[in-house]
Chains A and B, each alone.
Chain A
Amino acid sequence: MKVAYHSPLPPSRSGIADYSALLVPELAKRVEVELVRPGRFRRAPRADVFLYHVGNDPQAHGWIVDRLERRPGVVVLHEFVLHHLVAGRTLARGDARGYLDAMEREHGLAGRLLAHGVLDNRIPPLWETRPEQFPLAGDVLRRAQGLIVHSAFVAERARASGYAGPIWRIPHPAWPFPGAAPAPVRGQPLLGCFGHLNESKRIPQLLAAFSRLRARRPGARLLLVGALSERLARLDVPDGVVREDYVEERRLWSLMAACDAIVSLRTPTMGETSGSAIRALSLGKPLVVSDVGWFAELPNEVALRVPVDEHEAARLEEALELLAADAPRRESMGAAARALAEREHALATVADRYAAALEEAAGGAAVRDAVLAEVAQAAAEVGIGAGDEAASELAARLGEVALGAAFTVPEEGSPRR
């Protein structure tokens, strides 16, 4: 079976490019993969199924959605909120009408009026101020024959927006630990926060909580690693914070390996998965996360979840103190994190689940038709008509054993024991 695989790839500096670089070699052991490159005049390859990785960055994913519009396929929805992508594919290409139409399709006339407000500079751009309220995922969902998501959060948002196709929840694969030695950074405890440090990472709240922790524990240090946004760069950084800008992959692992716990906060969430949280699981590091989106789905054994409300900084401080004070707890959370990474995020397992989803997507409808045709013929031969009770029972039984729909995906958590 051949898959036409659409994704940003390295050297593109995108998390999804890294994701595909990790996944593709393993997936190619299971199905034939043709990597599709951007290019306006490229012809679509021949394939049994078309796979599109969709994220919110228009530069990385604009061409992929262009291809999706030409040919439907399975969409890997890395995040649910695609407002920035839609704005990039319309306004940035000089297509104001396209943006107005997209807003109206999903949010009615009020949406169109708001979009006009944006175009006339009367209100700030919605993709910067409140994109989570206007996710604009509808156009992508309408073209998706199936969805692959990483979290129940995104799956539920897709269903709530009316998506009726199959959804496969496939966890984000874990990067193999390259074996980097822990960096010589000391702290009691040593905490870390990694990634693009923008407004959604709750840096002010983290710094406030850390500074109170350090007042009690002078040995505490916080590694703050990653490019800071302009506004955050102006923040006062308390004592004990060690800053590093963007670091190469090996240095990133090395710094993470030195930490006692890793903080990965997020609000608002677009439904995305955190690459640094996944790395933390692989390393067996306890996590402190925001109680939102994908982060809220991490089990208690591996993560302390901090609600995003007016008590956020206080709760965060409590979580940091708990981990600082309780070494056995850090140990057990670390062991559970490693076990979770091996169980749910192992690359081979993820590739197996991709192969299963793609195989079902490619041939599932034909199988369904073949089964239904044979059952229907047998039913007709014994005089069961379309409106009969017996026909309803046939349909119910077919549904029960996953033979009734073109694709049937079991509800998460069932029926595994």
Chain B
Amino acid sequence: MQPSRGSATLRDSEIRRQLAPVRIAVCRPQVPFVRGGAEIFVDELVRRLRARGHEAEAVAVPFKWYPGARVLTQAFVWRLLDLSEADGRPIDLVVATKFPSYCVRHPNKVVWLLHQFRQAYELDRTPLGQFSESAEDRAMRRRVERLDAVALGEARKLFATSRNVAERLRRSVGLEAEVLPHPPQELPYRCDGYGDFLLSVGRLDRAKRIDLLIEAAARRRLEVVVAGEGPDRERLERLANGRVRFAGRVSEQELADLYARCRAVFYAPVDEDFGMVPFEAFLAEKPVVTTTDAGGPLEVVRDRETGRVVEPTVDAVAAALAIDEEDARAWGRAGRAIAEQVTWDRALDRLLA
């Protein structure tokens, strides 16, 4: 149906929405039995694209990055996929999200980068790195770099979820990406007040530094609730020695309740890409305590404006965790104003432009 003359007043994006439904494959790697921010992001992206009338589908391929050269062969699996069409009909657009899904071939490939293979870059030669000093491992890391340069360089458009991710991309392979943040998962966000516990949300692994929270909170005898699962749980539980409530994987309703009732949210991973947790906290009008080396969260958490930003030491974090209710409310509301600016509508307009 041709649009009526009156529809000329519609915004461009709305016209596009009505006239150009396309088939979109959203690509992500899948680590079996693990579900985290990337999985939530892709599911939500697909849902939002469908809500706009597009035919969207998540395409996931299992990913294992060890031992040895497996990181490269597993990446290469993406290169063999033929996403030019499905069931005899063309796929118009491929949106790839993180390593190695962006190795996929497609004439209309757009990358919305969550992160590269971090072990080859900023985590290299740290305890969280993967490559040894052997000649083969060093060359392997360079191959990942080269693979990124090719696979990301051929994308029609490059977006990064945060300035931090965009900056890493520029530093590592010299490619420029537009920063395109996205909203957090949809939850019944609300604020029921400012209770007397601090909340940590996320996967329990060393990079998230929940041990810092546990030790700092112990200094001040503050209550802590940790929501999430992960390989570091046993160690963290030993460290907490019964003083912390480990809630494990919680339902969306439970998570919204925790956000609604906590005093503040602690989120201080090492050089995080972006991290949805600060936005989730802000939407519940809660301030965020983070550290100066946290990376992406620093783009929205500002000291004494939307939370606390302190040195990554137990002493500094312990001092920062003591937030009175008045400050918590003011900073949480300021955070909410920031989080509300990031909407799926705006993000998709840019992604599909």
Kindly report which residue of chain B lies nearest to residue A359, judged by CB atoms. B138
The smallest C-beta distance from B171 to any residue of chain A, in angstroms, reads: 10
Q: How far is the CA of A415 from the CA of B133 in the complex (A)?
A: 28
**Which of A34-42, A120-128, A401-409 contacts the other chain?**
A401-409
Task: State whether the Cβ of B35 lies closer than 8 Å to any Cβ in chain A.
Answer: no
- Chain A 1-23 interface residues, beta-carbon cutoff 8 Å to B: 1
In the complex, what distance in Å separates the CA atom of A119 from the CA atom of B103?
59
A416, CB-defined interface residue at 8 Å: yes
Cβ A48 vs Cβ B72 within 8 A: no
Q: Which of B42-50, B107-115, B150-158, B265-273 contacts A (4 or more CB under 8 A)?
A: B150-158
Assess whether A43 is interfacial by the CB under 8 Å rule.
no
Residue of A nearest to B78 (CB): A401
Whether A371 sits at the interface, judged by CB under 8 Å, is yes
Task: Tell me the minimal C-beta distance from A314 to chain B in angstroms.
Answer: 41
A415→B176 CA distance, assembly (Å): 11
Instruction: Confirm or deny: B149 has a beta carbon within 8 angstroms of a beta carbon on chain A.
Output: yes
A356 an interface residue at 8 Å Cβ cutoff?
yes
**A367 contacts the other chain (Cβ, under 8 Å)?**
yes
| Chain A residue contacts of B140, Cβ below 8 A | 363, 367
Contacts A359-B141, A364-B142, A417-B153: A370 and B69 contacting too (C-beta < 8 A)? yes
B70 CB-CB contact with A under 8 Å? yes
Q: Is the CB of A356 within 8 A of B142?
A: yes
How distant is the Cα of A356 from the Cα of B139 in the complex, in angstroms?
Answer: 8
Residue of A nearest to B69 (CB): A370
**A401 with B73: CB separation less than 8 A:** no
Question: Is A360's beta carbon under 8 Å from chain B?
Answer: yes
Contact between B150 and A402, CB atoms less than 8 A apart: yes
Chief secondary structure at chain B's binding surface:
helix
**How far, in angstroms, from A269 to B144 measured CA to CA in the complex?**
37
B53 CB contacts on chain A under 8 angstroms: none
Contact of B137 with A by CB under 8 A: yes
B69 CB contacts on chain A under 8 angstroms: 367, 370-371, 374
Name B135's contact: one of A366, A370, A417 (CB within 8 Å): A366
Min CB–CB distance B140 → chain A (angstroms) = 5
A410: interface (CB < 8 Å): yes
Task: Determine whether the beta carbon of B76 is less than 8 Å from that of A375.
Answer: yes
Instruction: Report yes or no: B138 in contact with A1, Cβ–Cβ below 8 A.
Output: yes
A155-B274 Cα distance, complex, nearest whole Å: 41
B76 surroundings in chain A (CB, below 8 A)? 371, 375, 397-398, 401, 403
Do A375 and B138 touch across chains, with their CB atoms under 8 A apart?
A: no
A417, B149: Cα distance in complex, Å: 10
Known: A371-B73, A415-B154. A360 touches B142 (CB 8 A): yes
Measured between C-beta atoms, what is the minimum distance from A356 to chain B in Å?
6
Complex contact A49–B135 (CB within 8 A):
yes
Q: How far is the CA of A175 from the CA of B238 in the complex (A)?
A: 54
> Contact: B153 with A363, CB < 8 Å?
no
Q: How far is the CA of A360 from the CA of B142 in the complex (A)?
A: 6
Interface set, chain A 327-364, CB cutoff 8 A to B = 356, 359-360, 362-364
Contact of A414 with B by CB under 8 A = yes
Asked if B142 contacts A359 (CB within 8 A), the reply is: yes
Check: B36 CB closer than 8 A to any chain A CB. no
Min distance, Cβ A169 to any Cβ of chain B, angstroms = 14
Q: Is A400 an interface residue (CB 8 A)?
A: yes
**What 1/0 flags go to A193-215 for Cβ under 8 Å of B?**
00000000000000000000000
Known: A366-B136, A367-B140, A374-B69. A403 touches B147 (CB 8 A): yes
A227 interface residue (CB < 8 Å to B): no
What residues on A are CB-neighbors of B80 within 8 Å?
A: 393-394, 397
A367 touches B136 (CB 8 A): yes
CB <8 Å contact, B143 and A417: no
Residue of A nearest to B103 (CB): A401
In whole Å, how far is B286's beta carbon from the nearest beta carbon of chain A?
Answer: 39
Q: How far is the CA of A359 from the CA of B68 in the complex (A)?
A: 16
Residue of chain A at shortest CB distance from B174:
A416
Chain B residues, Cβ within 8 Å of A416 = 149, 153, 173-175
Bound-state Cα–Cα, A410 to B80, Å: 21
| B135/A410 in contact, CB under 8 A | no
CB atoms of B135 and A415 under 8 A apart: no
Cβ–Cβ < 8 Å partners of A402 in chain B: 143, 146-147, 149-150
The minimal Cβ–Cβ distance linking A371 to chain B, given in whole angstroms, is 5
- A359 to B143 Cα, complex, angstroms: 10
* B249 interfacial contact with A, CB 8 Å: no
The yes or no answer to B251 lying at the interface (CB within 8 A) is no
| Cβ contact of A359, chosen from B73, B75, B135, B150, cutoff 8 A | B135
A-chain residues with CB within 8 Å of residue B341 when the two chains form the complex:
none
**Interface bits B59-73 vs A (CB < 8 Å: 1, else 0):** 000000000111011
B79 interface hit (Cβ, 8 Å): yes
Given contacts A370-B68, A371-B73, A375-B73, contact A415 B149 (CB under 8 A): yes
Q: Are A367 and B143 in contact (CB under 8 A)?
A: yes
A414 and B154 CA atoms in complex are apart in Å by 9
Enumerate chain B residues within 8 angstroms of A360, measured Cβ to Cβ.
Answer: 139, 142-143, 146
Is A403 in contact with B139, judged by CB distance below 8 angstroms?
no
Q: Which of A397, A401, A415 has the most CB of B within 10 A?
A: A401
Contact of B138 with A362 in the complex, beta carbons under 8 Å: yes
Q: Is the CB of A415 within 8 A of B73?
A: no
Given known contacts A371-B73, A375-B76, A363 and B138 CB-to-CB distance under 8 angstroms: yes
Q: Which residue of A lies closest to B155 (CB)?
A: A415
Q: Can you list, as one digit per residue, whether each of B142-183 has a CB less than 8 Å from chain A (1) or not (0)?
A: 110111011111100000000000000000011110000000
Q: Is B134 engaged at the interface, CB distance under 8 Å to the other chain?
A: yes
- The residue in B140, B142, B175 that gathers the most chain A C-beta atoms within 10 A of its C-beta is B142
Q: Which residue of B is nearest A408, CB measured?
A: B146
Smallest CB–CB gap between B54 and chain A, Å? 27
Asked whether A1 and B70 contact (CB < 8 A) given A364-B139, A403-B147, A415-B153, the answer is: no
* Closest Cβ neighbor of A356 among chain B residues: B142
Question: How far does the Cβ of B63 sit from chain A's closest Cβ, in whole Å?
Answer: 15
Q: What chain A residues lie within 8 Å of B79 (beta carbons)?
A: 397-398, 400-401
A188 to B193, CA, bound (A): 75
Q: How far is the CA of A398 from the CA of B143 in the complex (A)?
A: 12
A362 touches B135 (CB 8 A): yes
> Which residues of chain A are within 8 angstroms of B73 by Cβ–Cβ distance?
371, 374-375
Query: Do the beta carbons of A414 and B138 come within 8 Å of each other?
Result: no
7 contacts between A and B (CB under 8 A): A49-B135, A363-B138, A363-B139, A366-B136, A401-B151, A415-B175, A416-B153
Known: A366-B139, A367-B140, A417-B153. 15 other contacts (CB 8 A): A1-B138, A363-B136, A367-B136, A367-B139, A367-B143, A375-B73, A397-B76, A401-B76, A402-B149, A403-B143, A403-B147, A414-B153, A415-B153, A416-B175, A417-B176
